[in-house]
Chain A
Amino acid sequence: MNILNILAEIEKVDPEVYERLDQRRQVFKHFAGFGKKLAAAAVPLAMGSMFQKAYGQSSSLGKQITDVLNFALTLEYLEYYFYDMGVKTRNLFVQADLAAITIIRDDELKHVNFLKAVLGSSAIAPLTANDFDFTGSKGGTRAPLISEVFRYRQNFLALAQAFEDTGVRAYKGGAPLLIENNTVLEAALNIHSVEARHASHIRTMRRGGTQANGLPKSWITGNEGGGPLPSVTAPVYGPGMPADMFPSEANVTQAGVNLTSIPNVTADQASEAFDEPLDMATVLTIASNFLK
Chain B
Amino acid sequence: MSKVMHDATEAKGLSEELQTPLERRTFLRYTGLGLAVGGLALAGCNDVMEDMSQTQSASATAADMANMVDVGSGDVGVLNYAYALEQLEAAFYAQVLQTQYYNSTSAPQRVALRDIEAHERIHREFFKQAITAAGATPIKDLEVDFSSIDFRTKQGVLSVAKAFEDLGVAAYNGAGKLIKSAAYLTIAGKIVSVEARHAAIIRDFLEYNTFVGPDVVDQNGLEKSMTPAQVVAVANNFLKEGSKLNVSNLPTE
A and B part of one assembly: yes
Query: Which residues of A are in contact with B by a Cβ distance under 8 Å?
Result: 1, 6, 9-10, 12-14, 20, 22-24, 51, 96, 99-100, 103-104, 106-111, 113-114, 168, 171-172, 175-176, 179, 182, 185-187, 189-201, 204, 209-213, 217-219, 254-257, 259, 262, 264-266, 269-270, 272-277
What are 17 contact pairs spanning A and B, CB under 8 A? Answer: A107-B217, A114-B221, A176-B186, A179-B180, A196-B200, A197-B196, A200-B200, A201-B201, A204-B200, A210-B109, A210-B201, A210-B204, A218-B197, A257-B126, A257-B129, A269-B119, A273-B122
Shortest CB-to-CB span from B16 to chain A, Å, is 12
> Min CB distance, B35 to chain A, in Å?
21
Q: Which of A186, A192, A198, A217 contacts B189 (CB 8 A)?
A: A192
**B212: contacting residue among A109, A198, A266, CB under 8 A:** A198
Interface hub of A1, A110, A218 (most chain B Cβ within 10 A): A218
In the complex, how many angstroms separate the beta carbon of B68 from the nearest chain A beta carbon? Answer: 26
Question: Are A185 and B176 closer than 8 Å at their CB atoms?
Answer: yes
CA gap between A108 and B22 in the complex, in Å: 30
Specify which of A191, A201, A209, A212 is in contact with B200 (CB 8 Å cutoff): A201
Contact of A190 among B126, B183, B197, B223 (CB under 8 A): B223
A264 to B119, CA, bound (A): 11
**Residue contact B222 to A191, C-beta cutoff 8 Å:** yes
B219 touches A110 (CB 8 A): yes
**What size tier do the contact residues of chain B reach?**
35 or more
* B190 in contact with A276 (CB, 8 Å): yes
B247 smallest CB distance to A (angstroms): 17
Residues facing A in B188-213 (CB within 8 A) are: 189-201, 204-205, 208-209, 211-212
How far apart sit A190 and B174, CA to CA, in the bound complex (Å)?
9
Decide if B24 is an interface residue (CB 8 Å cutoff). Answer: no
Knowing A114-B222, A256-B133, A257-B130 are in contact, say whether A210-B199 is a contact too (CB < 8 A).
no
Complex: chain A residue closest to B173, CB-CB: A189
Known: A111-B221, A191-B221, A218-B200. A272 touches B119 (CB 8 A): yes
A255 and B208 form a contact (CB under 8 A): no
Q: Which one of B133, B186, B218, B223 lies within 8 Å of A175 (CB-CB)?
A: B186
Bound complex: CA of A209 vs CA of B224, how far in Å? 27
CB <8 Å contact, B196 and A200: yes
Q: Is there an interface contact between A197 and B176, defined as CB atoms closer than 8 Å?
A: no
Q: How far is the CA of A42 from the CA of B118 in the complex (A)?
A: 49
- Known contacts A201-B200, A213-B111; is-contact A175 B189 (Cβ 8 Å): yes
Most chain A CB inside 10 Å of its own CB: which residue of B121, B189, B217, B218 = B189
- Smallest CB separation, A267 vs chain B (Å): 11
Among residues of A, the one whose C-beta sits closest to the C-beta of B190 is A274
List the B residue with the shortest CB-CB distance to A246. B186
Known contacts A179-B185, A185-B176; A259/B197 CB under 8 A: no
Q: For residue A1, which residue of chain B has the nearest CB?
A: B15
CB pair B133 A269 closer than 8 Å:
no
**Contact present for B192 and A209 (CB under 8 Å):** no
Question: Contact: A262 with B119, CB < 8 Å?
Answer: no
Known contacts A6-B18, A190-B224: A211-B108 contact under CB 8 Å: yes
6 additional A-B residue pairs with CB within 8 Å, beyond A103-B212, A200-B211: A51-B220, A107-B212, A193-B223, A201-B211, A211-B106, A257-B130
Is B243's beta carbon under 8 Å from chain A? no
Q: Which B residues lie within 8 Å of A254 (CB)?
A: 126, 130, 187, 190
Partner of B108, one of A20, A108, A213, A256: A213
Look across to chain B and name the residue whose beta carbon is closest to the beta carbon of A167: B193
A200 to B203 alpha-carbon distance, docked (Å):
11
Which 10 residue pairs across A and B have the least CB separation, nearest first?
A: A110-B221, A200-B200, A196-B196, A190-B222, A196-B193, A176-B182, A201-B211, A182-B177, A200-B197, A273-B119
Among residues of A, the one whose C-beta sits closest to the C-beta of B175 is: A189
B225 within 8 A of A: yes
Q: How far is the CA of A176 from the CA of B179 in the complex (A)?
A: 10
Which residues on the B side are within 8 Å of A103 (C-beta)?
209, 212
Contacts of A276 in B (CB 8 A): 190
Asked if residues A189 and B196 are in contact (CB atoms below 8 Å), the reply is no
Are the CB atoms of B205 and A210 closer together than 8 Å? yes
CB <8 Å contact, B194 and A272:
yes
Report the separation of the CA atoms of residues A86 and B200 in the bound assembly, to the nearest whole angstrom. Answer: 22
Q: Which has the most chain A C-beta neighbours within 10 Å: B126, B130, B221?
A: B221
Q: Which of A20, A187, A255 has the most CB of B within 10 A?
A: A255
- Which residues of the partner chain A approach B118 to less than 8 Å between Cβ atoms? 264-266, 269, 272-273
- Which of A104, A113, A255 is the one whose CB lies under 8 Å from B220? A113
Instruction: Tell me which residues across on chain B come within 8 A of A175, comparing CB atoms.
Output: 176, 185-186, 189
A262 near B125: Cβ-Cβ < 8 Å: yes
Chain B nearest CB from A49 CB (Å) reads: 14
B108: chain A residues within 8 A (beta carbon)? 210-213
Instruction: Evaluate contact between A197 and B14: CB separation under 8 angstroms.
Output: no
**B112, CB-defined interface residue at 8 Å:** yes
Within 8 A of A (CB), among B84-107: 106-107
Within 8 A of A (CB), among B31-53: none
